[in-house]
Amino acid sequence: MKTKTPASGGSYGTKIADLYIVHNLVAVNGGSRHTYHAMPPVGWMNDPNGFIEAFGKYHLFYQFYPYGPSWDSMHWGHFTTQDFVKWKLEPTALAPDGPYDSDGCFSGSSVIKDGKLFLVYTSVMAERQTQSIAVSEDGVHFEKLGVVISSDQLPKGCAKTDFRDPKVFKRGEWYYLLAGSMSEEGEGMILLYRSADLLKWEFVNIVRRDDRTTRGIYECPDLFVLGDADVMFASPQGYRTEDWRYENVQSSIYMVGKFNAEEGTFEKVYEDEIDGGFDFYAPQTLKAGDGRTIMIAWMQMWQRSFPTAKHGWAGSMTLPRELTMRDGKLYQSPVHEIERYRWNPVRFSNVKIGNRNELTKVYGTKIELLFTLDLGDAERVGIKLFQRGDHDARIYYDRGKNRVIFDRSRMGTDISFDPEEKDASIRSVAVDIKENKLTMRIFLDVSSCEVFLNDGERTMTGNVYSDGDGISFFAEGGSARLISLEKYDIVV
């Protein structure tokens, strides 16, 4: 059966999207597809939305365009999971089919009230961005209830074209909503509203405003309590590069401090980039019933080319990561559930690393690696992944720079990028080296690479489009030692 798509004269709708998905799954061939990350069944995925635990499972919605592997009229796709590893595809939750959201159902969040699941999203229509809600009694089918914050409720001096990505949460008797915005002078802003019933909202205050966002707004704010601190997330556009930080054209930052809901203020004591890699954006968190704070992010970046588009899909999510606070800083570790999917353990200990070391059975692209390096007297020491011939991606410690470098310049696939981005092939982060040792935990999934350094003190996330599956260790300008290594295949 041929589905009439919006492109061939049909209109948008969730049922049309679902028919299209079913009839086009085969069109998405295996090229570069992940095996244990959330990704669109067909077409395009960006930001995670409405990440929540409800009705006995975790729900992940996402920015979705089914009809092609590029950003277009935004729908909300929907997955559920019991363990953050296996994702069950659910019917499309929202389509841009209302009189106030026909140009897109943009990012947002969700909240439970009176046993019902409410989605709060940005409705876009004729260059106006407003905030709307939809409700579900079963967590599967959603009914739109209409606009709840119009652009007339923006404080004076805000651009009506940029008012989006509502994050709703409850504190005391009130529901609060953070939204990204921009002043008419182009300063990024985060706005706070409050409501008693999710329907009528009043503006409280501008929680953050500055001129570091050189090109636009703070997208996708989030706010949650971790330990005894409040943590605010945002994804600012064009955030000014600061040494090795914020090198992507759009960054994701966290701020630790004290949130005062009544006044609508956030007293910041620390700020940093969430991930130091290439492909990490618009993270959202949920608070799980067992107390964990879990974050997931879009594992891609704006203003670049998407090499997987030729296979019929683009965009995917990071592994969900548990967040903890240590010494006032955010630490990330992959959800422990992933360890249930470990196969074929391989272990090594005390291996001297020279120019190039390959270890028996240590290869693959759907794997977890966990190893500790004694950095010896080497100038550079690390690992080559996705290796074949001249192709590889490298993660290594550079003593002169005292940084860990993620270098994908030899992966064998070109990615075009924005002229304002210095490059899209090398990123680095500073790490705290103690006793001349460095621990790396790396997850590869066909075309993705997530690196957790020193127990999650820093992370680096990047896609690698290579044809190789080889792995080797290397030390340059001296020697080093692999104190221990574990390698597992990840099979879901």
- Among residue numbers 189 through 228, which ones bind ligand FRU (CB under 6 A)? 219-220
Nearer to ligand FRU, 219 or 222 (CB): 219
Say whether residue 471 binds ligand FRU (CB under 6 A).
Answer: no
Say whether residue 457 binds ligand FRU (CB under 6 A).
Answer: no
Nearer to ligand FRU, 1 or 126 (CB): 126
Least CB distance to ligand FRU at residue 318 (A): 14
Say whether residue 318 binds ligand FRU (CB under 6 A).
Answer: no
- Among residue numbers 388 through 417, which ones bind ligand FRU (CB under 6 A)? none
Of 274, 275, 268, 216, the closest CA to residue 240 belongs to: 216
* Contact criterion met (CB below 8 Å) for 44 and 314: yes
Nearer to ligand FRU, 58 or 281 (CB): 281
- Among residue numbers 86 through 115, which ones bind ligand FRU (CB under 6 A)? 106-107
Nearer to ligand FRU, 280 or 406 (CB): 280
Least CB distance to ligand FRU at residue 238 (A): 13
Residues near ligand FRU (CB under 6 A), total: 13
Nearer to ligand FRU, 74 or 393 (CB): 74
Can you tell me which of 37, 144, 164, 167 binds ligand FRU, judged by CB under 6 A?
164
Nearer to ligand FRU, 220 or 274 (CB): 220
Least CB distance to ligand FRU at residue 106 (A): 3
Say whether residue 122 binds ligand FRU (CB under 6 A).
Answer: yes
Can you tell me which of 45, 52, 74, 367 binds ligand FRU, judged by CB under 6 A?
74
Q: Which two tokens stand for residue 335?
A: 């959800």
Among all residues, whose Cβ is closest to ligand FRU?
A: 106
Least CB distance to ligand FRU at residue 400 (A): 36
Least CB distance to ligand FRU at residue 194 (A): 21
Say whether residue 63 binds ligand FRU (CB under 6 A).
Answer: yes
Least CB distance to ligand FRU at residue 74 (A): 5
Least CB distance to ligand FRU at residue 160 (A): 15
| First-to-final CA distance of the chain | 32
Q: Whole-angstrom Cα distance, residue 479 to residue 52?
A: 47
Q: Whole-angstrom Cα distance, residue 353 to residue 358?
A: 9
For the question of residue 47 being annotated catalytic, the response is: yes
Among the options 47, 230, 392, 407, which is catalytic? Answer: 47
3-state secondary structure the chain: CCCCCHHHCCCCCHHHHHHHHHHHHHHCCCCCCCCCCCCCCCEEEEEEEEEEEECCEEEEEEEEECCCCCCCCCEEEEEEECCCCCCEEEEEEECCCCCCCCCEEEEEEEEEECCEEEEEEEEEECCEEEEEEEEECCCCCCEEEEEEECHHHCCCCEEEEEEEEEEEEEECCEEEEEEEEEECCCCEEEEEEEECCCCCCEEEEEEEEECCECCCCEEEEEEEEECCEEEEEEEEECECCECCECCCCECCEEEEEEEECCCCEEEEEEEEECCCCCCCEEEEEEECCCCCEEEEEECCCCCECCHHHHHCEECCECCCEEEEEECCEEEEEECHHHHHHEEEEEEEEEEEECCCECCCCCCCCEEEEEEEEECCCCCEEEEEEEEECCEEEEEEEECCCCEEEEECCCCCCCCCECCCCCCCCEEEEECCCECCEEEEEEEEECCEEEEEEHHHCEEEEEECCCCCCEEEEEEECCCEEEEEEEEEEECC
Q: Which two tokens stand for residue 366?
A: 């759907």
Can you tell me which of 90, 97, 165, 374 binds ligand FRU, judged by CB under 6 A?
165
Task: Scan for tokens 């310049």, then name that residue.
Answer: 409
Least CB distance to ligand FRU at residue 124 (A): 8
Least CB distance to ligand FRU at residue 212 (A): 17
Nearer to ligand FRU, 124 or 424 (CB): 124
Nearer to ligand FRU, 106 or 386 (CB): 106
Can you tell me which of 47, 97, 187, 368 binds ligand FRU, judged by CB under 6 A?
47
Say whether residue 45 binds ligand FRU (CB under 6 A).
Answer: no
Say whether residue 367 binds ligand FRU (CB under 6 A).
Answer: no
* Contact criterion met (CB below 8 Å) for 421 and 246: no
* Cα dist from 173 to 43, 134, 380, 453, whole Å: 41, 21, 55, 40
Nearer to ligand FRU, 14 or 365 (CB): 14
| Residues within the interface to ligand FRU (CB under 6 A) | 46-47, 63, 74, 106-107, 122, 164-165, 219-220, 281-282
Catalytic positions: 47
